[in-house]
Amino acid sequence: MNSFVLFRAAEKAVTETSGHSGISGTVISILLAAFFFCLIIVIHEFGHFIVAKACGIKVDEFAIGMGPVIYKKQGKETLFSLRLLPIGGFCSMGEDIDDDDPDSFRKKPVLSRIAVIAAGAVMNLLLGFILSIVMILADGGAVSSRIVYFSDDAVSPDYGLQLNDVITEINGVKIFSVKDITYQLGNDEDGVIDFVVKRDGEKVRLDGVHFAMEENPETGKRTLIYDFKVQREKVTAGNLLPYAFKNAVYYGRIVLMSLGDIIRGKYGINDLQGPIGIVTVIGDVAEETGFDVSFLLDIATLVTINIGIFNLLPIPALDGGRLVFLIIEAFRRKALKAETEGMIHFVGFALLMMLMVVVTFNDVKNIFVK
């Protein structure tokens, strides 16, 4: 299984508090970023590996990175390798080869193969959930969507918002966490928002709630002024897992929304980031937040969920592309010829590598050019 890393600049939802400075100023921040990134890739490939072993499938090679081998160690059955280009990894099981070995990938039941293929992304999503738990514990609290404060010059109460309102929807988008509120309000352009709140146990719709807007004199860009605050709660055994789950769901939705924006043409290839861009972002956050643990865990959560979802896209050579072939096989009760499927995945792999080269060039260029 191949895993690739592409990242849309949805990290704005995390990093807008800290800014972006270009080249990370310390070796520590770079090493920390590289550690997070490698951990996420290892977790993905380990998911494929451990489920393959559980299903009795022979694993030929477990690799982190792509390209030339810089370190390798032969295990009892599997070759473990570290490769030069940190743009992904793979867990090779001879997926595109027909042979008579009963332990080969294509000889196993289709449901076992589906489990192996899906395991990498599942591990990334599970890691995102675990990181959310650790982040909330490190932060020492969780933030609800209940309004507990309005500023003295607040505008929104004049249009219906009240203290103790629990925000459940903004502009038709369901609110899972306080980050949803920040994201929706932060991306508004006219300062007029439709809310749905829970008030005294009942759902109340508030259309056309106004907020004051502030204009940047240099760029002319208008941004909404937040005029309320929501409640911060103490972490308990009862709310920890729900808050962590909602945080993970928030980032999953951000990734899917970003993919939709790319498909619709809102963002182009220059808005994509690869491994170098991701490491730069993590390094910048580490340095500019004073190595704030909660911020680092937050952006690591976004990255791992992004990788999990991206690799499930139905594109040849990605896990999602292989899942499509396996699902078709399950319905047809007949597999496509290994050579044919292998050629399709090879073409997909080549196209992805071309895209990765372009994205990597942009990542390097953006380090030196604002």
Q: Is the pLDDT of residue 11 over 50?
A: no
What is the mean pLDDT of the segment spanning 231-243?
A: 90
Tokens 């920890």 identify what position? 240
Q: Is the pLDDT of residue 123 over 50?
A: yes
Question: What total of structural domains would you count in the chain?
Answer: 2
Q: What are phi and psi of 101, to 5 degrees?
A: -70, 120
C-alpha to C-alpha distance for 369 and 57, rounded to whole angstroms: 47
pLDDT given at position 114:
96
268 and 179 together in one domain: no
Annotate 85-132 with DSSP letters as a single string: EEEEEEEE--TT---S-TTSGGGS-HHHHHHHHHHHHHHHHHHHHHHH
134 and 273 together in one domain: yes
Q: Is the pLDDT of residue 22 over 70?
A: no
Helix (H, G, I), strand (E, B) or coil at 211: coil
| Lowest mean pLDDT across 111-120, 129-138, 307-316, 344-353 | 344-353
179, 211, 233 — which closes off a domain? Answer: 233
> Per-residue confidence at 205, pLDDT binned at 50, 70, 90?
very high
290 and 192 together in one domain: no
Q: Which domain holds residue 120?
A: 2-140+241-368
Annotate 6-24 with DSSP letters as a single string: -EEGGGHHHHTTT---SS-
| pTM assigned to the model | 0.79
255 and 315 together in one domain: yes
114 and 205 together in one domain: no
Q: Is the pLDDT of residue 145 over 70?
A: yes
Per the rule left: phi > 0, alpha: psi between -120 and 50, beta: everything else, 164 is left
Q: Is the pLDDT of residue 106 over 80?
A: yes
- Whether 90 contacts 63, CB under 8 Å: yes
| Lowest mean pLDDT across 51-60, 89-98, 107-116, 142-151 | 89-98
pLDDT tens digit sequence for 32-76: 667 777 788 889 999 999 999 999 999 999 998 878 999 999 988
76 class by beta-carbon count within 10 Å (0-12 exposed, 13-18 middle, 19+ buried): exposed
Q: Is the pLDDT of residue 355 over 60?
A: yes
C-alpha to C-alpha distance for 332 and 249, rounded to whole angstroms: 34
What is the mean pLDDT of the segment spanning 164-186?
A: 92
254 and 105 together in one domain: yes
pLDDT given at position 57:
94
pLDDT given at position 24:
41
246 and 329 together in one domain: yes
172 and 68 together in one domain: no
Q: Is the pLDDT of residue 25 over 50?
A: no
271 and 358 together in one domain: yes
What is the mean pLDDT of the segment spanning 309-325?
A: 91
What is the mean pLDDT of the segment spanning 304-317?
A: 90
> Per-residue confidence at 303, pLDDT binned at 50, 70, 90?
confident
> Per-residue confidence at 3, pLDDT binned at 50, 70, 90?
low
C-alpha to C-alpha distance for 27 and 357, rounded to whole angstroms: 25
197 and 130 together in one domain: no
What is the mean pLDDT of the segment spanning 196-207?
A: 95
Q: Residue 162's domain is classified under what CATH number?
A: 2.30.42.10
pLDDT given at position 73:
93
233, 259, 278 — which closes off a domain? Answer: 233
157 and 286 together in one domain: no
165 and 215 together in one domain: yes
Q: Is the pLDDT of residue 21 over 50?
A: no
pLDDT given at position 13:
41
Give the mean pLDDT of the chain: 84
pLDDT tens digit sequence for 242-267: 999 999 999 998 888 888 877 887 77
| Lowest mean pLDDT across 4-8, 125-129, 172-176, 292-296 | 4-8
233, 263, 293 — which closes off a domain? Answer: 233
Using alpha carbons, select from 270, 266, 284, 320 the residue that is nearest to residue 4: 320
What is the mean pLDDT of the segment spanning 98-112?
A: 87
| Lowest mean pLDDT across 91-100, 179-188, 314-323, 336-345 | 91-100
End-to-end CA distance of the chain: 36
